[in-house]
Amino acid sequence: MLPTRQKLIGERRVEEWNYNFYFLPKPRKIVTINGKQVGETYDQAVARLERELGGQVMEKTIYIKQNNPGDDNLWMCKECKGMWGFLEGGPRYNRMEYCPYCGRKIEEEAR
């Protein structure tokens, strides 16, 4: 399961998770900072951390297509080195806007 939204601010990762289990009366959103649950909304947590850290936001990256034999469509995040494979196309074709590993916004693709 992947977070619905995430952002890396300094060394802190803010994530929002949606839980929709059959036994819950209504869907529930959980916000975490570096894996620890906080009692704020996602937007409140992001605003607070940006204020505290003076806007040190590392949020852009480039996804680079890898030339590995046998893995025709493997891509790597330039910043965190996380690898992601697609059945067809690249991150942009598959509407992938953020790296699922580090949370940075994918600015462009490099082939």
Same domain, 38 and 68: no
Give the integer Cα–Cα distance in Å for 5 and 3.
5
Same domain, 14 and 45: yes
47 three-class SS: helix
pLDDT for res 111? 74
- pLDDT for residue 2 is more than 80: no
- pLDDT for residue 110 is more than 60: yes
CA distances from 70 to 74, 85, 111 (A): 10, 12, 17
**8 in Cβ contact with 53 (< 8 Å):** no
pLDDT for res 57? 53
Residue pLDDT, tens place only, 15-55: 998 887 777 777 788 899 898 999 888 888 888 887 777 75
- The total domain count for the chain is 2
Same domain, 68 and 39: no
Same domain, 48 and 73: no
Same domain, 15 and 34: yes
**59 in Cβ contact with 98 (< 8 Å):** no
> Domain range for residue 64?
60-110
* pTM score, whole prediction: 0.50
Same domain, 65 and 104: yes
